[in-house]
Structure 1
């Protein structure tokens, strides 16, 4: 590769992450959710207050409203929800071409509609589908950036103990900041290349954090590193969530845990420095990694491994020389070769 990001530093996370809610739960999914993932769905359904079984699905992010809400409803029922408890909130920007009898673009002002707000106000679980994260903030924020009545109702329900979850774009909006536009091998690596990195405000359910999704599958480490070192934004803590993986945040207890099949990557850029030239160099960036079953202390951002994990002993690098290889029988162990093969 002609250009790249240089990352130096392995310091522990020490800055607290604060959510606006004291009692509720956030279930933040990195996209690509397998409908059979019992861990993620259990985390969502079991976090509902006992007296509030209702589930409100907000499809604002997507144009495929009918298909997305139908699939999510079926998955919720499969994992134990009652069909009568699931309601679709009529909030969207664009029409769904699959529903000729309904023009969903007329729903764009429903964040002020008392009937639609009521679906959120009585819900024990509120779910944001994936799509375009900017669509969500466009309909839930006023022109001056303030909460719409529906956004305020969601925030209030979270504080009262409800669970708020979302996948892909629906997960990205949970943070204080979010990536609105950008690509992994564009400006984060080469000055002037590809689409520009554009950042904007999320809904801020988890403060001082930028959340990115499809993380490991799409090679978004460089993109997240560039985002949390952007000189024009104040957020310096990043979470990258893999597909079919959720970060379950319990702000009241000050902890978060990872469920699902992938990883959550943590980046602390508070002490980082970025130098932009022909390539971007970032020094002082502190990474962390959490897998399923691991927990994260939101006050220190230290990762505690799951109790079932055991330490392993490996040979020092100088005692185990790398052997050149490749192909199906023996994979290459050199980072440059592995990265190049994956890129191709």
Structure 2
């Protein structure tokens, strides 16, 4: 009787559109892991390559290689297969790519045999290139999943690892950049659906926005308009030759050459007019640091844990300013000095070419230490971990022409 009643209850739910079932599915957390790489992963970066294989089950792990984003997928795929195999994997190329000559990518993406090979793999790796080619190859024109994409999700939910570099990192969130402008132009003009931003594959969940090449290209600033447009409260941006490893419990570990930024908009306030936002919280995670997406807690690496900075003994004792906040790693350099200084804030500005869009409009980035701000320094090298710094961005007027001082 109980089983019959349960069957009847479920049948009624299905006839009613199954909202309860949909809600239940939405909270099921995959058992797999993600390795989100900011681009330009070097062949010699053993810790990242080895972690991918370890999460896939160790030596001999079968890893499906997707070069779908590449303009030369066969060559890129072959190189990645060889690289992964050199670290102990048994990788294989998945011929689903818009630019793969002599192939029908739409037919390949719905091939049952290919989908089964992906489903039975221990992991997948997405190469860099143009992320829109990935979603074009793995989704039908109506937006529904192909068989190969469904197989990827099955593998991930079962416990497999999905790794991606550059474009392969962009697809990890539900929203990704599609055809973006420059960072400064994005601040000035904003983003629109189907243009600057579009749908990703969403492996990391619907609550986190991902961006890549972050510090080298100053892209942290372009994350903010996209996050505000889509209502994201949390953003993770990863730099080149560096990875964020996201475990099933949503713990994030940074490994590799540089680090990652965490942008928290939970209490941010947006003001009218040109891009103007206050009370963004920014943290910098260095190699070995951890961050939990659920609890929002940051934990420094072992070599920093016993070296918390003492605000009463600052190293820097002069005003902190930069005229190029979007420069290569400038934001981290400025935050590192702020957290180890006697200054309450640090200011960076950005302005564009007099021949560019809205040439009279620039932006001031003000970073402020709060009671919650904390920093750690490595005991073996000059590197910092910086947690919970306040960021306010406001538009500023640039007087043109810029005159030479006399």
**Common topology (TM > 0.5):** yes
- TM-score, normalization by structure 1: 0.79
Paired with 1:67 and 1:313, the residues of 2 have a C-alpha distance of 52
**1:91-240 superposed matches below 5 A:** 91-95=96-100, 102-104=101-103, 106-191=104-189, 198-207=196-205, 208-230=207-229, 233-240=230-237
User: Which position in structure 1 is the counterpart of 2:317?
Assistant: 320
SS at match of 1:189: helix
**Pick aligned residue for 2:94 from 76, 79, 89:** 89
- Confirm or deny: 8 A CA contact 1:191 1:276 kept in the other structure: no
1:221-280: per-residue Cα shift (whole Å, max 9, x none)?
2101111111xx2333211100001010112x3311111011111112233233353x41
* 2:275 is equivalent to residue 280 of structure 1: yes
Q: Offset of 1:139 from its aligned partner?
A: 1.8
Paired with 1:228 and 1:139, the residues of 2 have a C-alpha distance of 25
Q: Offset of 1:87 from its aligned partner?
A: 1.0
Distance 1:91 1:241, change over 3 A: same
User: Which position in structure 1 is the counterpart of 2:379?
Assistant: none
SS at match of 1:39: helix
User: Which position in structure 1 is the counterpart of 2:292?
Assistant: 297
Distance 1:316 1:51, change over 3 A: closer
Distance 1:297 1:183, change over 3 A: same
- TM-score, normalization by structure 2: 0.68
User: Which position in structure 2 is the counterpart of 1:41?
Assistant: 49
Q: Offset of 1:154 from its aligned partner?
A: 0.6
- Confirm or deny: 8 A CA contact 2:190 2:225 kept in the other structure: no
- Confirm or deny: 8 A CA contact 2:126 2:163 kept in the other structure: yes
Q: Offset of 1:197 from its aligned partner?
A: 6.4
* 2:231 is equivalent to residue 244 of structure 1: no
What is the aligned-residue RMSD (CA, Å)?
A: 2.8
**Pick aligned residue for 2:256 from 253, 257, 260:** 260
**Pick aligned residue for 2:36 from 4, 23, 28:** 28
Q: Offset of 1:167 from its aligned partner?
A: 0.4
- Confirm or deny: 8 A CA contact 1:20 1:204 kept in the other structure: no
- Confirm or deny: 8 A CA contact 2:109 2:148 kept in the other structure: yes
Q: Offset of 1:179 from its aligned partner?
A: 1.3
Paired with 1:337 and 1:165, the residues of 2 have a C-alpha distance of 32
User: Which position in structure 1 is the counterpart of 2:322?
Assistant: 335
Distance 1:21 1:91, change over 3 A: farther
SS at match of 2:35: strand
Distance 1:303 1:319, change over 3 A: closer
Paired with 2:38 and 2:81, the residues of 1 have a C-alpha distance of 19
- Confirm or deny: 8 A CA contact 1:26 1:164 kept in the other structure: yes
